[in-house]
Structure 1
Amino acid sequence: MSILSDFSRNLTVTLLLFGIFHFSKTDFLKTTSTTIKPPVRAPGLSLPLPNSHPPKCTREVPAIFSQYEKDVPIVGNSTTNSFLNVIEVCCRGFKRYEYDWSMCVPDCGNMCLQNGFCIDGGKCMCFDEFVHNYRNICVPTCPLGCPHGQCYLNGTCVCNEGFILDPSKKFCQPECDPICGHNEICIEPNKCICADGYAKSIRPDSTMGCQPVCIPDCGFGHCIAPNECKCFDRYEKRMNGTACESPCYMRCEHGFCVNQTTCICQNGYKYDYNTTSCLPDCDDNCENGICISPGVCRCFNGYEHNGIKCSAICENTNCGYYGKCIAPDICGCNIIEGRFKSYQRCEEGFCNAKGRCRCKEGRTRFINQCVSTDKVTTYASMNPYKMNEALINEFNLLIGQHFMFRNEQPNYFYG
């Protein structure tokens, strides 16, 4: 621990010199031997340790999350499912380093929020002159400070009324009479609460005391310790999961396998047959983007948020009073009445008062866009797939919308 101790001491001095610790009037702790203010830093200090190189893990995620262009679907790199991408992530117990995402650092979760830093194994190491108190929080010791007590010149601490020194005589802890029950801690004089990871039943007549809490629920099992489930017979935990589920062939991420063929999705998610998982659900408000979390839509490039939906941006094209921006830098003219209301594409042009697409000088209309007159004859041979797609869209827009093919809804631009 000598290397870590030296690292801690040097880190403390560095943070003090650069003002990373910050204070307020409430940070002064009562003492008779020092006026040093106990440092309080931003939550969650976790740094790469000397000669520490945590391993990386891999994870499969929906490839659609990597799609940023509307008409350019992503093919995943997974060897088992082309709708999945294999990405590199930090292994359990580690997280990305805030200042260098190529590195992983220990993750202590909600622990180690002040006066210490996280080390391998998710353990919090307090800075020099700090120790873990009864709430597992790093607090100062004399002569730096003594919460709920007073430091004296000989380096000892005398606790305030209602508090007593812990067995190590390093800090003051509250005294409860009678003593707290099983899985309880004393947080104030004569006040007990459930320890972290435990809770009492919401039933007022319950006599079970503080019981472990598992989030999410254990499912087909019971909670034996905080976030630790023991499964019933014939049920199992999925990879990197804590709940007990029925064995099933589906990935069912963000869901729960109730039997071999049924995946029940969590609230805010819906089942996706391509990935056999539950993907975030944004209802019908993410047509021009990707739903990355429940109710949160990330717009494609060329689109921006307009309320809860994503609308196209026409920065280099002025659609005018009679037109509407229906795709990035593409205007649409005149709502076509029919089974579906749609706009006729007017790429590289503008809409007149009659709702018709007019091209700028030197260009002529060709199918659904305005092109230079000298390129009309070569356009078909140079862009056969694009031309065929344009012809199909125009046919669907003007004629095909009056028919239904294979009971499928035509792909139009909606107004």
Structure 2
Amino acid sequence: MSLRSASALTALVLATISCAATQDQNTEQLFGDIYYEIGSFSFRHTDPSVSGNKCQREVPARFFKTAPDAPIRGNGSTIHWQRIEVCCEGYVRSRYDSDQCVPDCSAVSPNNCRNGFCHAPNQCECFAEFVRNERGECVQTCPIACEHGRCYLNGTCLCDPGYSLDLETRKFCRAQCPHGCGTHQDCIAPGQCACAEGYKMTQDLGCQPVCIPDCGHGKCVGPNKCECFQGYIKRPMRNVCEAECYISCENGFCESRSNCQCRNGYKYDADTTSCLPDCGDNCQDGICVGSGVCKCFEGYEYRESNCEAICNRDCGYYGQCLEPGACGCKLTKQLCRTGLCDRNGRCVCPIGMTHFVDRCVKAMQLNELLNSNQQREYFNRQLRREFETLIGDRFHFMQQAK
């Protein structure tokens, strides 16, 4: 694989894996060559001062497979893991240069410090004549404007009905709730309360903290803050309570020393001892790289609910593209390269040619097709495929009947 194609593949994996990560954290997305921060796989280097805000992270090497029979040979701690370069914690890909990692202020500013400068992780400084409001956004202040109010020539701000000046800055107007708001609630409009960020409304207990992912064997006591039950611990770089464990168990939590409980949308993988994304039956001829996200192998593209092979010619009314660049018959699934299928699912060759294993050839070409061990091995594989396709089901049925 060339360096350029490897880089493109890394970008694609960064884009799709962590579909799961978009649920776990507020990460910047860039469209075109898309980058996401990967959510929960292992960090191997976390010193941004040494690496220019970039870190090495291990992800399952199978995410980089390009063909069904391609071997898995990662360059990580084992062959089942691949080291890739990502932005360190507290940094995201630059909107303008996807090769650069810049500080992330999304945790303290909903629009990631727009109208200001994020000079370090979660340190947002507003531009002149802008001020941070109660939501952490940089909003215009007098003499330009006054949020929920009007500016006078002397630079003072008069608030609209139902609002009053912020007591600390006196540069923007806050909504007023005369009767007050409940625990973990904010006043978001005159007389209207809602759960504060990091909390959600429950039917019985009011606004309760939210932890993503779930705390496992613990209790969520604050936004993304877990308190473990007795006998359970948190491992470094993980905010989940679990039993003492010697397996990776990424995207899940350890119920015992050797048992990994996976989160919804993930399935346990013995090679990585972790929970990998599960697409069910909707990712044949591809690799599931995120919960419900399928990356098709080379020569395939995702259509409707699965990966389908791509052919560079019309396979005819009774044919379909069965493998990349290889037409076959809909009815029998027999390969029919350079020929066309009839209504009975048989490969019909042009005049002067005969069907040989998976293609139409001239008789004089047969010796040329079998003049090397590599070619003979190829046709042996194709013969086995043809056997399974044409009569394999009947053979298995007879074996089961016995």
Q: TM-score, normalised by structure 1?
A: 0.72
What is aligned with 1:389? 381
How far residue 87 of structure 1 moved from its aligned partner, in angstroms, is 0.9
CA contact (8 A) 2:252 2:261 kept: yes
Matched, 1:59 2:30: no
Matched, 1:94 2:91: yes
Q: Measure the CA separation in 1 of the matches of 2:371 and 2:185.
A: 78
**Aligned 1:82-231 pairs, distance under 5 A:** 82-109=79-106, 111-113=109-111, 114-165=114-165, 166-177=167-178, 180=181, 183-199=184-200, 201-203=202-204, 206=205, 210-231=207-228
How far residue 202 of structure 1 moved from its aligned partner, in angstroms, is 2.4
CA contact (8 A) 1:348 1:370 kept: yes
How far residue 354 of structure 1 moved from its aligned partner, in angstroms, is 5.0
Please tell me the residue identity of whatever aligns with 1:247.
E
Please tell me the residue identity of whatever aligns with 2:80.
F
Please tell me the residue identity of whatever aligns with 1:261.
S
Runs of 4+ in 1 over 6 A off after TM superposition: 43-46
Alpha-carbon spacing, 1:398–1:218, altered in 2? closer, same or farther (3 Å): closer
Q: Secondary structure at the match of 2:63?
A: helix
Q: Which range moves more in the overlay, 134-143 or 292-301?
A: 292-301
Deviation digits for residues 12-37 of structure 1 (CA, Å, limit 9, x no counterpart)? xxxxxxxxxxxxxxxxxxxxxxxxxx
CA contact (8 A) 2:68 2:286 kept: yes
How far residue 143 of structure 1 moved from its aligned partner, in angstroms, is 0.4
Which of 264, 281, 285 aligns to 2:278? It is 281
Which of 246, 265, 271 aligns to 1:249? It is 246
Decide which structure has the larger Cα Rg and report it. 1
Name the Cα RMSD after superposition: 3.4
**Aligned 1:252-401 pairs, distance under 5 A:** 252-316=249-313, 318-333=314-329, 335=331, 342-352=332-342, 355-360=345-350, 363-371=353-361, 373-382=363-372, 383-397=375-389, 401=393
Q: Measure the CA separation in 1 of the matches of 2:396 and 2:186.
A: 68
Please tell me the residue identity of whatever aligns with 1:280.
P
Q: Secondary structure at the match of 2:370?
A: helix
Q: Measure the CA separation in 2 of the matches of 1:394 and 1:200.
A: 59
Alpha-carbon spacing, 1:52–1:253, altered in 2? closer, same or farther (3 Å): closer
Alpha-carbon spacing, 1:128–1:391, altered in 2? closer, same or farther (3 Å): same
Deviation digits for residues 184-240 of structure 1 (CA, Å, limit 9, x no counterpart)? 43333454444322345421xx5xx75533222322223343212233344222443
CA contact (8 A) 1:54 1:105 kept: no
Please tell me the residue identity of whatever aligns with 2:164.
I
How far residue 167 of structure 1 moved from its aligned partner, in angstroms, is 2.9
Q: Measure the CA separation in 2 of the matches of 1:45 and 1:384.
A: 48
Structure 2, unpaired ranges of 5+: 1-26, 31-48
How far residue 130 of structure 1 moved from its aligned partner, in angstroms, is 0.6
CA contact (8 A) 1:348 1:359 kept: yes
Please tell me the residue identity of whatever aligns with 1:167.
E
Structure 1, unpaired ranges of 5+: 1-42, 336-341, 409-415
How far residue 348 of structure 1 moved from its aligned partner, in angstroms, is 3.0
Alpha-carbon spacing, 1:170–1:359, altered in 2? closer, same or farther (3 Å): same
Q: Measure the CA separation in 2 of the matches of 1:198 and 1:322.
A: 57
CA contact (8 A) 1:45 1:118 kept: no
How many positions carry a matched residue from both structures?
A: 349
Please tell me the residue identity of whatever aligns with 2:277.
P
Q: Measure the CA separation in 2 of the matches of 1:71 and 1:44.
A: 34
CA contact (8 A) 2:53 2:91 kept: no
Provide the identity percentage.
Answer: 48
Q: Secondary structure at the match of 2:99?
A: strand
Deviation digits for residues 145-168 of structure 1 (CA, Å, limit 9, x no counterpart)? 112222122212233344332233
Please tell me the residue identity of whatever aligns with 1:60.
E
Q: Secondary structure at the match of 1:390?
A: helix
Q: Measure the CA separation in 2 of the matches of 1:78 and 1:167.
A: 51
CA contact (8 A) 2:93 2:99 kept: yes
How far residue 249 of structure 1 moved from its aligned partner, in angstroms, is 2.8
Q: Measure the CA separation in 2 of the matches of 1:354 and 1:158.
A: 82
CA contact (8 A) 1:44 1:117 kept: no
Q: Secondary structure at the match of 1:185?
A: strand
CA contact (8 A) 1:44 1:112 kept: no
Q: Measure the CA separation in 2 of the matches of 1:396 and 1:73.
A: 23
How far residue 142 of structure 1 moved from its aligned partner, in angstroms, is 0.9
Q: Measure the CA separation in 1 of the matches of 2:140 and 2:75.
A: 51
